[in-house]
Structure 1
Amino acid sequence: MKLFLKGLIRGTLPFAVMLSMYAWNNFQGRAADAKVFLFYGLMALFLGLASIIYELKQWSFRKQVIVHYLTMLVTVFPFLLLSGYHKTNSFGAIFHVFLLFNKVGVMLFVTTAIISKIRNSLIRLN
């Protein structure tokens, strides 16, 4: 339960910021711009919630990666399609969004892995 609350906090904070940006844009009469903030906020919420997967020490790293990827696939990917930010008028367009989803996922994964290694190295030095 403690771990879930940690993930909820990680996701709720950016979601609250995006939700306020959504509300502000709606208030200003820019509903088309506002919608993007709502979808990005929902994606941030699920990213924060799913981040705790890597803190489950009883799971192997491989299992953590697979479960995280599948979680993102059933939460974030549909929001990308529904956001209206990407074309979804054909299978090819949806497949392009899928490829983009995976490309960004790999870049974020590699970046966070490098940062984590550096952080762990600095902690060991102290």
Structure 2
Amino acid sequence: MHLLKKGLIRGVIPFSFLIIISLLWNQFQGSWAISNTFFFYGLIAFFLGLASVIYEIEQWGFLKQIMVHYLAMLMTVFPTLLLSGFYPLDSFRDAVNVFFLFNKVGVILFFTTYFIFTWRKRAYLKARHQ
């Protein structure tokens, strides 16, 4: 229950912030198109924040954490991207292209964060042993 609460906090804060921006943008600029963009960014940020706690489940191995996180993103962020209107969806091929882009960005983000955290952990351990 503690991890769920932590995930909800991590998700609700950016979602709320982006919803407020969305409402303010619509109020002062009168543009629902851009306002909706903030809404969908907030929804994606919510899902990312909620799923971030998967990596804090110590009983799971790293591979299981990665797979569960990928499936969570596939079930939440990918449909959000399809529904957002960010990409044209005139054919099944368009949806497949969004799927490949989703995976490409996911792999890039995964390796970037993996290397950053690995480097930080090594630096921490090195400093601790000196």
TM-score above 0.5: yes
1:5 corresponding residue in structure 2 = 5
1:95 corresponding residue in structure 2 = 96
Q: Choose 116-125 or 103-112, whichever is displaced more.
A: 116-125
1:66 corresponding residue in structure 2 = 67
The residue type equivalent to 1:65 in the other structure is I
1:17 corresponding residue in structure 2 = 17
1:52 corresponding residue in structure 2 = 53
CA root-mean-square deviation: 1.0
CA shift at 1:106, angstroms? 0.4
The residue type equivalent to 1:25 in the other structure is W
Q: Where does structure 1 lack aligned partners over 5 or more consecutive residues?
A: none
CA shift at 1:120, angstroms? 1.0
In structure 2, distance between residues paired with 1:115 and 1:17: 27
Cα distance per residue 1:51-93 (max 9 Å; x no partner): 1101111011111111100100010000000001101110111
1:123 corresponding residue in structure 2 = 124
CA shift at 1:8, angstroms? 1.4
In structure 1, distance between residues paired with 2:18 and 2:101: 22
Do structure 1's residue 29 and structure 2's residue 22 form an aligned pair? no
In structure 1, distance between residues paired with 2:116 and 2:6: 20
Report SS of the residue matched to 2:89. coil
Report SS of the residue matched to 1:75. helix
CA shift at 1:112, angstroms? 0.7
Identical amino acids, percent of aligned pairs: 52
CA shift at 1:123, angstroms? 2.1
Report SS of the residue matched to 1:123. helix
1:79 corresponding residue in structure 2 = 80
Point out 4+ residue stretches in structure 1 off by more than 2 angstroms: none
Report SS of the residue matched to 1:89. coil
1:113 corresponding residue in structure 2 = 114
